Amino acid sequence: MLTNPRATRVKAVRALGRRSVRERAHRFVADGPQSVREVLRFSPATAVEVYVDAETAQRHADLLEQARAADVPVHDCTAQVLAELADTQHPQGILAVCRPVDVPLDDALDAVVEPTAGFVVVLAQVRDPGNAGTVLRGADAAGARAVIVTDSSVDLYNPKVVRSTAGSLWHLPVVVGAPLESVIDGCRRRGIAVLAADGAGEVLLPDADLHGPHAWVMGNEAWGLPHELRDRCDEVVRVPIHGHAESLNLAMAATICLYASAAAQTPVKSTASRR
Amino acid sequence: MLTNPRATRVKAVRALGRRSVRERAHRFVADGPQSVREVLRFSPATAVEVYVDAETAQRHADLLEQARAADVPVHDCTAQVLAELADTQHPQGILAVCRPVDVPLDDALDAVVEPTAGFVVVLAQVRDPGNAGTVLRGADAAGARAVIVTDSSVDLYNPKVVRSTAGSLWHLPVVVGAPLESVIDGCRRRGIAVLAADGAGEVLLPDADLHGPHAWVMGNEAWGLPHELRDRCDEVVRVPIHGHAESLNLAMAATICLYASAAAQTPVKSTASRR
């Protein structure tokens, strides 16, 4: 039982809240039962250790069972230690220290053309952790083959990003730190159409051809995509705005685009209508 | 020039951060240049007064022009007073005290059937301010005729809701505090189909008939719609989940549903494809 909130080990986990420390240590924190469940379920080999307080250990005995089955050490600690470990105002009683899960760019892009045509989302210069995580969750739900985060974006292993993915971080291949140039080059080589989603686009989303393999490039929350990058894309597509709204926020625009891709590529499994 | 952050007038505006005070005073606060611009542009008669600090007055001279043109008094104040007025960690240098803009339920529902078939979104028991505001913004962008917030939901005039609507609060009719029962009855009388959006739905979104007038009922973030309310709806529709994600968040699910409605009802204005 860990009882000392000032122990070196506690401080070391807490320090993973900082990007530089995460990058040096090749570790990050999955906070809360949902994240811990998903890492243990989808990527148990990347879970290094689990910390849990007594109350949560009782409430989520299944999680500890899962951890033990995967040979992941579980450390019991006081609620005070757990609060110190988690870089959040609302500690959730359990967290896992994890290894990064990102894959090489080529692997992710290969998955967009094989075995069938698929789609991928590229976050270029996205800075807001909540937006990044929400897009990742939406990409998972829409059935994207991968999520690519470029080198000038928020860190995918930032605790706020991890939390807002609601576990989707472990559900599909992610790439971090790829320069957008390399992403575009890799798409070209594989015949993947590169679509920029931007309010300044000339093609309306319902007019975009989403049947073949394609990549959605989403720019920064505030200033969109720089001209020179937009010009390198095959098409600049905009979500139609029907009312007086100036724009949609990034996560919403991305989700609408990704669901349009899903609709174009997924045969609808019709269920009986109740009407 | 207002210089005393402890003045009664300053405290009175600050107190509008509390729901009970807003309801008693029939006033709320629109914080930041975007909100102030939209209230002055779309609903100037509901703007009571504007507070601005010197720097912002210079940067947004157009807003003050707009305010004067609409006979809305502008009060210069120090940055310190402005920080005290705004119920936020990041005061934006300008705010307006406003009158509520909500309309009667019947007016909003009439707008769903006249002059042509349209759609409306109903937030039932939505508690998160950011979700409510984002749904309102998405409803505006998708071209919904109105937004209805039921009696057990977050207050639409909560500063966080107002901020996250990004000005859409003033773009389309909103109804607050309607009991869901009355909303459903009003829809029945007008031939408006009532569609519950719920992960437990039997009808997949692509199979839903969205051509006629309809209302989307969105339940609570955590527990969805209660059974007895779901049973009163004509259909329970779910957004298809293709990957391993458990669900979409409320704002994303709502936006996808509303854009599906827009796609079904809006003739696409085709633009020349660049391909």
Instruction: Search chain B and give the residue with CA nearest A194.
Output: B275
Q: Which of B203, B247, B271 sits opposite A273 (nearest CB)?
A: B203
Separation in Å, CA of A262 to nearest CA in chain B: 8
Residues A75, A4: contact at Cβ < 8 Å?
no
SS3 of residue A225 by DSSP? coil
State the CATH number of the domain containing residue A202. Answer: 3.40.1280.10
Handedness of CA A198, A204, A205, A207 (dihedral sign): negative
Distance from CA of B268 to the nearest CA of A (A): 7
Summarize pLDDT for A87-122 with one digit per residue, the tens.
778 889 999 999 999 999 999 999 999 999 999 999
Look at A202 and B272 and tell me if their CB atoms are within 8 Å. Answer: yes
> Once rounded to an integer, what is the mean pLDDT over residues A63-92?
92
Mutation target vs A (from B195, B203, B211, B246; most A CBs, 10 A cutoff): B246
The pLDDT assigned to A226 comes to 85
Q: Which residue has the tokens 């093609």?
A: A203
- What would the mean pLDDT of A2-21 be, rounded to a whole number? 94
Measured in angstroms, the CA of A140 and the nearest CA of chain B are apart by: 5
Question: What whole-number distance in Å separates Cα of residue B123 and Cα of residue A107?
Answer: 42
Instruction: Look at residue A273 in the predicted model and tell me its pLDDT.
Output: 41
- Mean pLDDT across the stretch A23-48? 96
Q: At what angle do helices A105-113 and A180-190 cross, to 10 degrees?
A: 30
B165 plus B241 within the same structural domain: yes
Q: What is the DSSP letter of A2?
A: B
In a domain, residue A274? The reply is no
Q: What mean pLDDT, rounded, does chain A reach?
A: 92
Phi and psi torsions of A29, nearest 5°:
-115, 130
In a domain, A275, yes or no: no
Question: Which CATH number characterizes residue A49's domain?
Answer: 3.30.1330.30
Do A62 and A117 belong together in one domain?
no
> How many angstroms away from the CA of A236 is the closest CA of chain B?
9
Q: The tokens of A204 are what?
A: 């309306």
Q: Are residues B139 and B190 in the same domain?
A: yes
Q: Structure tokens of B63?
A: 């807003």
Lookup result for tokens 């049973």: B231
Q: Name B109's Cβ contacts closer than 8 Å, sequence gap at least 6.
A: B120, B146, B183, B186, B187, B190, B192
pLDDT in tens, B17-56: 999 999 999 999 999 999 999 999 999 999 999 999 999 9
CB contact under 8 A, A239 and B171: no
Per-residue pLDDT for A246 more than 90? no
User: At which of A52, A83, A98 does a domain end?
Assistant: A98
Q: Which two tokens stand for residue B129?
A: 């301010």
Which candidate from B244, B249, B268 shows the least CB-CB separation from A140?
B244
Q: Distance (Å) from the C-alpha of residue A174 to the closest C-alpha of chain B?
A: 14
Q: pLDDT digits over A113-162, tens only?
A: 999 999 999 999 899 998 899 999 999 999 999 999 999 899 999 999 99
Average pLDDT for residues A205-229, to the nearest whole number?
90
Query: Of A60, A81, A98, which marks where a domain is finished?
Result: A98
Q: What is the CA radius of gyration of chain B?
A: 20
Helix, strand or coil for residue A259?
A: helix
* Mutation to test the B interface, candidates A244, A261, A268, A275, most B Cβ within 10 Å: A244
**Which residues from A are below 8 Å from B144, CB to CB?**
243
Q: Tokens 């909560």, residue? A: B158
Phi/psi region, residue B268 (left: phi>0; alpha: psi -120 to 50; beta: rest), is beta
Which residues of A are less than 8 Å from B140 in CB distance?
243-245
Report the C-alpha gap between B77 and A253 in whole angstroms: 38
Which H helix or E strand runs over B236? Answer: strand B235-238
Say which of B245, B259, B268 has its CB closest to residue A204. B268
Q: Is residue A158 part of a domain?
A: yes
Q: A72 vs A268, which has greater pLDDT?
A: A72
Q: At what angle do helices B61-69 and B33-42 cross, to 10 degrees?
A: 30
Indicate the residue among B98, B123, B152 that finishes a domain: B98
**What percentage of chain B reaches a pLDDT higher than 90?**
80
In this structure, are A199 and A84 located in the same domain? no
- Count of CB atoms within 10 A of residue A8's CB? 7
In chain A, DSSP assigns E strands to: 28-31, 47-53, 74-77, 94-98, 119-123, 146-150, 174-178, 193-197, 203-204, 214-218, 235-238
In this structure, are A260 and A211 located in the same domain? yes
Contacts of A144 in chain B (CB under 8 A): 243
Provide the domain limits for residue B174: 105-265
| Contact: A144, B243; criterion CB under 8 Å | yes
Task: State pLDDT tens for residues B50-96.
Answer: 999 999 999 999 999 999 999 999 999 999 999 999 877 888 999 99
User: Of the given ranges (B6-20, B26-40, B239-253), which has the lowest mean pLDDT?
Assistant: B239-253
Who contacts A112 (Cβ-Cβ below 8 Å, separation ≥6)? Answer: A118, A119, A120, A145, A146, A187, A190, A192, A213, A214, A215
Asked if A147 and A123 touch (Cβ cutoff 8 Å), the reply is yes
CB contact under 8 A, B171 and A262: no
Residue-level pLDDT at B268:
53
Per-residue pLDDT, B270:
46
Nearest to B263 among A42, A206, A272 (CB): A206
Question: What end-to-end distance do the CA atoms of chain A give, in Å?
Answer: 58
Q: List CB contacts (< 8 A) between B234 and chain A.
A: 275
Q: What is the mean pLDDT of chain B?
A: 92
pLDDT of A188 over the 70 cut: yes
Q: Do A252 and B249 touch (CB under 8 A)?
A: no
Residues of A in contact with B270 (CB under 8 A): 204, 207
Lookup: tokens for A174: 């992610």
pLDDT in tens, A255-265: 999 999 999 99
Whether residue B141 and residue A241 make contact (CB cut-off 8 A), yes or no, is yes
Tell me if B171 and A274 make a contact (CB, 8 A cut-off). no
- Mean pLDDT, residues A55-67 taken together: 95
Q: B34, B115 in Cβ contact below 8 A?
A: no
Q: Which residues pair with A107 in a beta bridge?
A: none
Which residues, 6 or more positions from A260, have their beta carbon under 8 angstroms from its beta carbon? A205, A206, A208, A210
- Residue whose C-alpha is closest to residue A92's, from A143, A53, A139: A53
Residue ranges with strand state E in A111-183: 119-123, 146-150, 174-178
Do residues A67 and A130 share a domain? no
**Is the domain of B119 the same as that of B157?**
yes
| B112 and B36 part of one domain | no
Contact B172 A243 (CB under 8 A): yes
pLDDT, one tens digit per residue, over B142-185 is 999 999 999 989 999 999 999 999 999 999 999 999 999 999 99
Number of domains comprising chain B? 2
Q: Please list every residue in chain A whose beta carbon sits closer than 8 Å to the beta carbon of residue B207.
A: 268, 270-271, 273
Q: Establish if B273 belongs to a structural domain.
A: no
Characterise A68 by phi-psi region: left (phi > 0), alpha (psi -120 to 50), beta (else).
Answer: alpha
Alpha-carbon dihedral sign for residues A67, A68, A69, A71 = positive
Burial A168-189 (b: 16+ CB within 10 A, else e): bbbbbbbbbebebebbbebbee
The three-state secondary structure class of B43 is coil
What length is written for chain B?
Answer: 275
Instruction: Please give the Cα distance from A273 to B208 (Å, whole number).
Output: 8
A159 and A190 both lie in a single domain: yes
Q: Are residues A114 and A18 located together in one domain of the fold?
A: no
Distance of CA A146 to the CA centre of its chain: 9
For A224, the token pair is: 């969109």
CA closest to B140 among chain A residues: A243
B129 shares its domain with B224: yes
Cα dihedral: A101, A134, B236, B125 (round 10): 130
Residue-wise pLDDT for B94-108, tens only, equals 999 999 999 999 999
What pLDDT sits at residue B209? 95
For residue B72, what are the contacts with CB-CB under 8 A and spacing of at least 6? B40, B44, B47, B48, B49, B50, B96
* Same-domain check for residues B55 and B110: no
